[in-house]
Amino acid sequence: MIINYLILAHHFPAQLKKLVERLNADDVYFYIHVDSKSDLKEFNAKINCSNVVFLEKRENAIWGNFTIVQATLNGIFEIIQDGRGGFTILLSGQDYPLASNLEIKQFLDKHATSNFIDLKPVQEAWPDEHEAKINQFYLNLTSKRGNGIFIPYFLEISMMTLFKTSYRIIKNGIKQRNLLLCLQIIKFFKKRKSPIPYHYGGSQWWALNDKTLKMILSFIKENPGYLDFHKYTYIPDEIFFHTIIKVLVEKNPEMTVLPSITYVNWKKLNYDFPVIFGTNDMEELTMAKRNGKFFARKFESQYSDSIFDLLDINALRKH
């Protein structure tokens, strides 16, 4: 079984090196997208293996923006172009395995025709946000996380909202000397229309077999409007691939879809982002492994470096 790890990274090259070394094995390949804002030389200096490919086409990956989807697509294109079969597993540079390489391989061998991705109707995944995600344009004003704005159809909003939103767009466009950003006010005069009648979403992180990857690329080629639509979706990486998978399953009922094999904790109190795991979280991570998760995120070596050694030891234990 060939395993392709498609890794989205933007900092911590030493930690990424640790991840690559931990997952490296026979028939394993790494396709790494380094954010265009980061210095690629720092990553090249740390990681130099024949089975590691740093993607040449790099995106300025902005949180909540389509650039993250495009970075993922860049990796998929290259994996397919290189003729890699087997599984492709999407990870971030701050993920780490909970299981041994052998256990991961045996699991994928056993489920060679399956796909692992969380799928829920957007109405269930985001009860309070799905209307804005699908029916309004989302525009990043800067590359700063969360500094974006929703643009509703002008006939569906008050004049005050129209004025305030227009002012923010023009102000940021002038400040950045970005005429194209200023021109985005024309989105007010368009009603956003989805090219398909439903949308599904879930965790960004997935593991898909090569047949499914090829079907995804075929779908995008045959439905260019779908890609264009999601260029203005809020956090499209949690919807884009998921909806395609749902469409493919309906057309190919023999496809098997199981939950994501990456564990993320968004529910811990006093956290706006996914929990950064440390040594105090070993019980939680052990339980995640018992529940069928093979990877977890996120980790920061500067926060807790010894967690990686504990995870390596724990991965070899029978639970």
**What residues form DSSP beta bridges with 95?**
297
Count of all residues that appear for the chain in the document? 319
Asked if residue 223 is part of any domain, the answer here is no
- Whether residue 168 is contained in a domain is answered as yes
Pull the structure tokens for residue 21: 């070394």
Question: What pLDDT shows up at residue 271?
Answer: 55
Number of domains into which the chain is organized: 2
216 found inside a domain? no
90 and 29, same structural domain? Answer: yes
Place 304 in a pLDDT band, splitting at 50, 70 and 90.
confident
Residues 28 and 78 in one domain: yes
Query: Which of 159, 189, 219 delimits the end of a domain?
Result: 189
**Residue 304 falls within a domain, yes or no?**
yes
Q: Out of 173, 189, 205, pick the residue that ends a domain.
A: 189
Residues 67 and 106 in one domain: yes
> Within 10 A of 139 (CB to CB), how many other CB atoms are there?
20
Closest to 133 in 3D by CA, of 236, 278, 2: 236
Please tell me whether residues 93 and 154 are part of one structural domain. Answer: no
Residue 136, number of CB atoms within 10 A of its CB? 20
Residues 21 and 98 in one domain: yes
Are 102 and 29 in a shared domain? yes
Domain around 160: 137-189
Half-sphere exposure of 265 (CA within 13 A, CB side): 17
Structure confidence by residue, pLDDT tens digits, 222-246: 999 999 999 999 999 999 999 999 9
Q: Which amino acid is at 233?
A: T
Answer yes or no: do 17 and 82 share one domain: yes
Separation of alpha carbons 219 and 201, rounded Å: 17
Q: Are residues 47 and 100 in the same domain?
A: yes
* Judgement on whether residues 82 and 17 belong to the same structural domain of the protein: yes
Distance between CA atoms of residues 155 and 25, nearest Å: 57
Q: What is the pLDDT of residues 55-108, one digit of tens each?
A: 999 999 999 999 999 999 999 999 999 999 999 999 999 999 999 999 999 999
Provide the pLDDT for residue 227. 96
Run of H or E residues at 172:
helix 159-175
Q: Is residue 239 part of a domain?
A: no
Inside any domain, residue 201: no
pLDDT digits (tens, 9 = 90+) for 117-140: 999 999 999 999 999 999 999 999
Residue 37: per-residue pLDDT? 93
Residue 77 located in a structural domain:
yes
List, for residues 241-286, the tens digit of each pLDDT value.
999 999 999 999 999 999 999 999 987 655 557 788 999 999 999 9
Strands (E), 86-127: 87-92, 95-97, 114-116, 120-121
Whether 142 and 107 share a structural domain: no
CATH, residue 40: 3.90.550
Together in a domain, 69 and 7: yes
The helix/strand/coil state of 253 is coil
The span from the CA of 154 to the CA of 157, in Å, is 6
11 and 99 share a domain? yes
Whether residue 305 is contained in a domain is answered as: yes
Q: In angstroms, rounded to a whole number, what is the distance separating the alpha carbons of residues 317 and 312?
A: 9
Amino acid symbol at 72: T
